[in-house]
Structures are given as structure tokens and as C-alpha cells.
Homo-oligomer: A and B are copies of this chain.
Amino acid sequence: MRISELSRVSGVPVATIKFYLREGLLPEGVRTSPNQAQYEDAHAQRLRLIRALVGVGGLSLAAARNVLGHIDEPAGLTLDLLGTAHQAVAPELPDDVELGPAVALLRRWGWDACADAVGQGDETRVDDALGGLAVALAALDDAGFVVEPARMDTYADAMMQVARAEIDGLPTETASAAVRYVVLGTVLVEPVLLALRRLAQREASAARFRGSTPQVLEHERE
């Protein structure tokens, strides 16, 4: 199909398609003349994937290119699938982040595979995920927002249930299927989980307060 048809079937404007081509996110079509190229269904699928990553996934163009690169060339991921997948979408971390409190939490939960891997070098890359936790804990601290240990344990339990289900579902037929599953599962499932948390809060609030308004606030209004 021509680029105009590709635009129609994908819902992506021609100018945006040309931008993605220039940026190397979308592979070139087969050139049929100096001004024309032919595109396949695979291009339309790729366009939808790009839109998902930079839209809801919230990735920058550079991060999206990185993620797509990992999906295109899964051979590079054999050594540490999760580490590489996570790094592809990891936020930039400050150099001087204090890992101690985060490691102490891992030890309390018996997450020793992670705790033991800290500082073991590039291959494990657990430090990125751990750094993310350390930065998030420091931000809570800065904001004066106390999360009780029991609540933190609840968070860890809940996320371990999530992770077990995800790892159990890892497709093991081919490396490329595994990589696609881990990379896209990391980026695209995050917004699902966050939206579910907010809806669950409303549901739990309705159950506790028999309505959407906590009672203390009702009293203050009277």
C-alpha cells in the first residue's frame, strides 16, 4: 500500500509517519519510484505499536527507539532478559542515590536474589530497579510522607503476586516472543496497574465509608 493508505488504515497522519521514518522507528518501505514507496501490513502493526509506546506508555522517542531495538534484535538480550528490558525503560537515576534502605527492605522480604546481586556489575543490572526503589523511598522521605512497614509489606506482597503471574506466563517457545512479552509487559502494563489502583481505592473507599465521602469530611462541613 502507499503511504496515504497506510495512514488511513493505521489512523496515523502522513506527516507523523514520515517523522517516524526519519527517526528510524518505522522501517522504510520498498521504494517504487524516487517519490513513492510501498508499505505492508507489518508497517501498520509497527505504527500501532509505536503509538502505544509513545502514547500511553509515555516513552520519549529515544526510549521508544531503544525498546523497539530490543524487540527487533532479541539476540542481545540472552544474558539478562529482565535486566535489559527494564533498563530500556528505566528512568534516569542520580549518581548519589543511597541504596541502603532499599536493600534493607529486600532482605526483610527475603528477596535475596535481588539483594545479593547489588553492585555485582553490569550483567545483572538489578541496580537499576533497586535504584528506582531507592529514589522513590527518598522522595517519600523528602515529602514527609510516612509509609508504615506493614503497608510497605502489603505493597511487596501484592507486587510479588503480580510478578509471579507474569513470570509464569512468560512464553518460552522463542527468544523474540519472550523479549516482546517482557519489554511490552513492562511498559504497557504499568498504566493498567496504576489505573486499577485508583479504581480499587474508590471501591474500597465506598465499602468503608458507605458512600464516596469519608465521614470526617462530612462532619467538618456541617
Contacts and interface: CB of A to CB of B under 8 A. Distances in A.
Interface string A180-222: 1100111011111111111111111111100011111110110
Given A199-B106, A212-B124, A191 B132 contact: yes
A34 interface: no
B192 A137 contact: yes
Interface stretch (A15-23, A24-32, A145-153): A145-153
Contacts of A49: 142-144
B126 A194 contact: no
A197 B159 contact: yes
Contacts of A81: 205, 212-214, 217
A162 B200 contact: yes
A154 B165 contact: yes
A40 B44 CA distance: 58
A133 interface: yes
B156 A200 contact: yes
Interface string A121-165: 000101001101101111110111101101100111111111111
A169 interface: yes
Given A143-B48, A216-B172, A167 B82 contact: no
Contact of A133 (B86, B181, B196): B196
Contacts of A57: 139
Contact of A216 (B129, B178, B201): B178
A161 B190 CA distance: 17
A122 B17 CA distance: 37
5 contacts: A48-B144, A81-B212, A82-B201, A132-B191, A158-B158
